[in-house]
Amino acid sequence: MSLTSALDSAKSAITTSSQLTSIVSRNIANVNSTTATRKYANVATGADGSVSVMSVSQSTNLALFRNKLDATSENASLSALTSGLGQLATTVGDTEDEISPASLVGKLQSALTAYSASPDSADLARSAMQAAKNLAQGLNDASDVVETVRRDADNAISVAAGEMNDLLAQFKSLNDKIVSGSKLGADVTDYMDQRDQIVSQLSEYVGVTVGKRANNDMVLYTDSGVTMFETTPRTVSYSKSIPMDAGQAGNSLYIDGVAVTGENSTMPIQSGKIFGLTQLRDQVSVTYQNQLDQIAQQVVSAFSETSSGKPVFGIFTDPSADSPDKMKVDGLAGRLSISDNLADFPLRDGALGSYNSAGASGFADHINQLIDNLNAKQTFDASGGIETSATLVNFASSSVGWLEGVRSNAQNEAEYQSTVLQRTQEALSDATGINLDDELTQLLQFEQSYQASAKLISTIDQMLQVLLDSVH
């Protein structure tokens, strides 16, 4: 090999070592970043023995990345669901709180039983009426919580739609840079890291499936197959559910004009925050509201009276209806109230005093009838998701058990999915992340190579100088 060829090889080696050192230094600088992947150079050796960096690549593992997206979506879905269930659980409280509908029905039964033994007691009469008022207020409060949970979920879906559109716009900007840069052979690995992070963020909202194409182009679909991005971002649209009536599902979310949530969706998503919020708003909360409404319906029925052979409201009433047989069940728990026009002793004598026209202070027949009504088995609609034949207090207790069961199952699944996500992230990091020890070892090797090439250049320079001196 001539001195000139040796010098050229040494120069290419020192240039390559400098480039490799720069890449490793970049890795070391990002060692604490959870979103950065390891970058490495693709080095080629020429026919003359020279080496050069042809391109820069990133460590990838598409299978693990997809697993991470799936785990992120499942975790986000359950997080949204458990958060809402936690709010709904405030309507039943702890055992010591005794604020659940079941507890309030039981307290009313106990107050009536005590009152029936001493129907002439004004104190017991007041206690029984207060128990009735507490029951009505408790159902009102529980219904308000359900409405708030549903409204908050609906608002969160609306916000999520806007955030998804923002992320898709960012994705397009990065994807365009990656595709154009890849065509020119530029280093686009940092852009690819940023794009992957956007995809991970999108997977928090809906389940995401990714596809790779030429020039590192990427396409995105929901887990149900609806296109979210293919060259251009597809619009995510949502209109708030106003009004949101009790028992009615909210509006659907659309991606690229296709409904991906709701009963009429032909390609419904299966995971992600929006999926969890929709479950909370349209399924869990609606079922629980139905249970509360059926409890309220049976309370009205148990205390209803007759006038001229027709049913009339007793102490419990629905201001939106003229009589018990004309009540609308949906939302009744929120409307239930105590009648404003009551006799002096409505539980003993009837709401209008018609059951004890003589005004006998020891009259207990009507009180006992109310107790019997509360203890009687009633028929409940299957839409409540629990038993269809039970006493009022047993149905109310089953409602509490149902809510706690749904919440417990969701929490257990959420804890499991959180662990899955953590393990998946760790596996992806191990496969594609930056190991400081490895990078430091490589940095030392490249520095040694640089020094060796620099020394070779110095030696060749000295030899050339000797030749020049000999000519002169």
Bridge partners for 40 per DSSP = 57
- Whole-model pTM: value is 0.88
227 backbone dihedrals φ, ψ, rounded to 5°: -70, 130
Q: Can you read off the two tokens belonging to residue 217? A: 């182009």
162 backbone dihedrals φ, ψ, rounded to 5°: -65, -40
DSSP state letter for 326: G
Cα distances from 456 to residues 1, 16, 20, 50, 437, in angstroms, run: 14, 15, 19, 14, 29
Asked if the structure places residue 31 within a domain, the reply is yes
Domains of the chain: total: 2
Which helix (H) or strand (E) is 264 found in, with range?
Answer: none
- Based on the fold, state whether residues 10 and 98 are members of the same structural domain: no
- Based on the fold, state whether residues 49 and 33 are members of the same structural domain: yes
- Based on the fold, state whether residues 171 and 128 are members of the same structural domain: yes
- How far apart are alpha carbons 291 and 386 in whole angstroms? 8
In this structure, are residues 119 and 363 in contact, taking their beta carbons and an 8 Å threshold? yes
Asked if the structure places residue 166 within a domain, the reply is yes
Share of the chain above pLDDT 90, in %: 69
- Based on the fold, state whether residues 260 and 332 are members of the same structural domain: yes
Bridge partners for 63 per DSSP = none
**pLDDT of 158 higher than 80:** yes
Return the pLDDT at 268: 97
Long-range contacts of 401-404 (CB under 8 A, 24+ apart): 402/287, 402/288, 402/291, 403/85, 403/88, 403/89, 403/91, 403/92, 403/288, 404/89, 404/92
Query: Position 431: which residue type?
Result: A
How many Cα neighbours within 13 Å face the side chain of 239?
A: 6
Asked if the structure places residue 373 within a domain, the reply is yes
- Based on the fold, state whether residues 209 and 304 are members of the same structural domain: yes
Asked if the structure places residue 288 within a domain, the reply is yes
Q: What value does the mean pLDDT take over residues 360-385?
A: 95
Q: Can you read off the two tokens belonging to residue 469? A: 């001196």
Phi-psi region of 231 (alpha: psi -120 to 50; beta: other; left: phi over 0): left
Bridge partners for 209 per DSSP = 221
- Based on the fold, state whether residues 186 and 102 are members of the same structural domain: yes
At 351, the pLDDT band (50, 70, 90 cuts) reads confident
The helices-and-strands tally (H runs, E runs) of the chain is 12, 15
Query: Position 280: which residue type?
Result: L
- Based on the fold, state whether residues 204 and 333 are members of the same structural domain: yes
Q: Report the range of poorest mean pLDDT among 57-61, 284-288, 409-413, 449-453.
A: 449-453
Q: What share of the chain is helix, strand, coil (3-state, %, to 5)?
A: 60, 10, 30
Return the pLDDT at 453: 60
- How far apart are alpha carbons 472 and 459 in whole angstroms? 20
Return the pLDDT at 436: 74
Give me the domain span that covers residue 39: 3-59+454-471
Query: Position 15: which residue type?
Result: T
Asked if the structure places residue 440 within a domain, the reply is no
pLDDT digits (tens, 9 = 90+) for 435-450: 776 767 775 675 666 5
Return the pLDDT at 51: 67
Q: What value does the mean pLDDT take over residues 21-41?
A: 78
Return the pLDDT at 197: 97
Burial class (CB in 10 A: 0-12, 13-18, 19+), 281: buried
The dihedral built from the CA positions of residue 161, 167, 168 and 169, taken in this order, carries a sign that is positive
Asked if the structure places residue 336 within a domain, the reply is yes
- How far apart are alpha carbons 272 and 290 in whole angstroms? 26
**pLDDT of 61 higher than 60:** yes
Question: Cis (ω within 30 of 0) for the bond into 119?
Answer: no
Share of the chain above pLDDT 70, in %: 87
**pLDDT of 8 higher than 70:** no
Burial class (CB in 10 A: 0-12, 13-18, 19+), 69: buried
Q: Can you read off the two tokens belonging to residue 411? A: 């929490």
Return the pLDDT at 17: 64
At 94, the pLDDT band (50, 70, 90 cuts) reads low
Asked if the structure places residue 335 within a domain, the reply is yes
Asked if the structure places residue 310 within a domain, the reply is yes
Query: Which residue, chain included where needed, has tokens 């009837």?
Result: 350
- Based on the fold, state whether residues 462 and 384 are members of the same structural domain: no
Bridge partners for 379 per DSSP = 389
Return the pLDDT at 33: 78
Q: What is the mean pLDDT of the chain?
A: 89
How many Cα neighbours within 13 Å face the side chain of 151?
A: 11
Return the pLDDT at 263: 87
Strand 316-317 relative to strand 310-312, pairing: unpaired
- Based on the fold, state whether residues 268 and 192 are members of the same structural domain: yes
Which helix (H) or strand (E) is 211 found in, with range?
Answer: strand 208-212
- Based on the fold, state whether residues 213 and 299 are members of the same structural domain: yes
